[in-house]
Structure 1
Amino acid sequence: MVAGLLQEGASAEALALAARFALPLWPDWPEDAPCALVWQDGRLNLHQRGEKGVVCVDFAGGAAAHRRKFGGGAGQPVARAVGVKGEQRPAVLDVTAGQGRDAFVLASLGCTVTLVERHPVAAALLADGLARAAACDDAAVQAIAARMTLQHADALGFLLQAQAAGQKWDVVFVDPMFPEPDRRARAKKEMAAFQTLIGGDADADALLAPARAVAGKRVVVKRPKLAPFLAGVKPNFQFPGESTRFDGYLPA
């Protein structure tokens, strides 16, 4: 499912994003479309019909800014899982970037992060968020955005091409989207809309083997606390959390 961009009020930036990610332009919101992209308040927003909440990617303020300042720094589970400690700042390949929240945390701690996102709507929201972060008046946020690079590509195809080319990253980070209805029910309404639009990563199990082939140090898989192991493969180590856990795998 792909949401189109409403043409009314769309800026040149919004139209460029639609062209870059091959998003349809809608003069009006189609009656059979549950979601639409709207350029509003200087940013790209994903709206769900009949709901007030919107989804956008904001690295300069909101929850991202709060987490950067008060989230616990290198002591956060995701940071410990990828191996951020002392002077170590691994290069990370995030193959299921989504809204880039964990990627931003890692970049804020000094890691360079390559974000791979296959869905055009999610990729457009990410690109908009990164562009606004790079252009904001906060030098620290600008520096973080400079350490983040977005690739609009299918995760499995990207990994297989990287493997064939002999490319390596210190850490490959995998956080598959889970389509189960009970997971959506627990999410905020706007996040449930995002999850429904993007859908689940049905090929998530297939990512583990090529991820281990391009990882120089480890693969980290973010999972719900009680979820089965990715591809049924027991991890080499784990970092447990309250509702999620991070499964670690050594390179192949």
Structure 2
Amino acid sequence: MSIGVIAPVGSMGAALAAQFDLPLLESAPATGHYLVWDRERLALAEAGEKARVEVDLLEGAQAHRRKFGGGRGQPVAKAVGLKAGNTPTVLDATAGLGRDAFVLATLGCTVDMLERNPVACALLADGMRRGTEDAAIAQIVARMRLQQQDARNWLPEHGQPASYDVVYLDPMFPEPDKRARAKKDMHAFQTLIGGDADADVLLAPARRIARQRVVVKRPRTAPWLAGVKPDFCFDGESTRFDAYLPML
């Protein structure tokens, strides 16, 4: 069932609903998820729950990470090979809410983003829209480009060999149990999106597009994508970044 949007006709919320082919609702449903236009921003809500999910590039966790996250010393920056003399172009083929894409754009990378889920696209597009209105991060957001596309189709059909330095994959991994749950707001998003059980098919075409490497973000104990051992990896406390050399 499609997720609907509660937004006044003529509002930016209604425009986002039209852009991503999401129905407009007159009121919140009795159960399930819905999008709501509130305080001049779009948020994902769940009936009976107070927690909401929105993309905020100006304040909160993203702002803190931009200011105090460690710059090029961050694991994701090291994983894509970002260093003096190398600021790679990146295709984030499973963009989600654009959190890592924003970090990479903050550090100077141009990041093209693919996301197939219209709800995630609407939330991310709204966050980027608000970001362009703030002088502090407008130049960062200008380095981010979003397309509503399914990477399973886009990579083999539209990706040209060696067209990006790095292809970045962060498929949603199913939560193994309640102890591993994300924060309550992100759990609502993960519940809606579900695990990307079909992500294995992305690795081979991604390796044909990347000039330098493909980087796959995984939970620390998760199996390798498509069962393929990476050429090298970067380990973190709860996640790891598996890196694969291109196959041109």
TM-score by length of 1: 0.94
Tell me, in whole angstroms, the C-alpha distance in 2 between the residues paired with 1:159 and 1:4.
29
Structure 1 contact 2–121 (Cα < 8 Å) conserved: no
Q: CA deviation at 1:166?
A: 4.2
Whether 1:109 and 2:107 are equivalent positions in the alignment is yes
The alpha carbon displacement at 1:178 in A equals 1.4
For residues 151-205 of structure 1, the C-alpha deviation after alignment (integer angstroms, 9 at most, x for no partner) is: 1000111111224x44611000000101235268521121111011111112110
Cα RMSD (Å) of the superposition? 1.5
Residue pair 1:68, 1:105 contacting (<8 A) in 2 also: yes
Task: Tell me what 1:67 maps to.
Answer: 65
Residues 185 and 166 of structure 1: CA distance in aligned 2, closer, same or farther (over 3 Å): closer
Does residue 208 of structure 1 match 2:208?
A: no
Shift of 1:10: 6.1
SS in 1 for 2:208: helix
Residue identity opposite 1:127 in structure 2: A
Q: From the two aligned structures, give the one with the greater helix fraction.
A: 1
Give ranges in structure 2 of 5+ residues lacking alignment. none
Which residues of 2 match residues 50-129 of structure 1 at below 5 A? 50-129=48-127
CA distance 1:10–1:122, shift in 2 (3 Å) = farther
CA contact (8 A) 2:95 2:114 kept: yes
- 1:5 maps to a residue whose letter is V
SS of alignment partner, residue 213 of structure 1? helix
Q: Does residue 18 of the first structure (1) align with residue 17 of the second (2)?
A: yes
| C-alpha contact (below 8 Å) 1:11/1:39 kept by paired residues | no
Partner amino acid for 1:43?
R
User: Is structure 2 residue 152 aligned with structure 1 residue 156?
Assistant: yes
Tell me the number of residue pairs that the alignment of Structure 1 and Structure 2 aligns.
Answer: 247
Once the two structures are superposed, residues 212-242 of structure 1 have per-residue CA deviations (whole angstroms, 9 ceiling, x without a partner) of 0100110000001011100000000100000
1:194 aligns with 2:192: no
Of stretches 171-180 and 145-154 in structure 1, the one that deviates more from structure 2 is 171-180
Partner of 1:49: 47
SS at structure 2 position matched to 1:54: coil
2:242 corresponding residue in structure 1:
247
Q: CA deviation at 1:100?
A: 0.6
Q: Does the CA-based 8 Å contact 2:231-2:245 persist in structure 1? A: yes
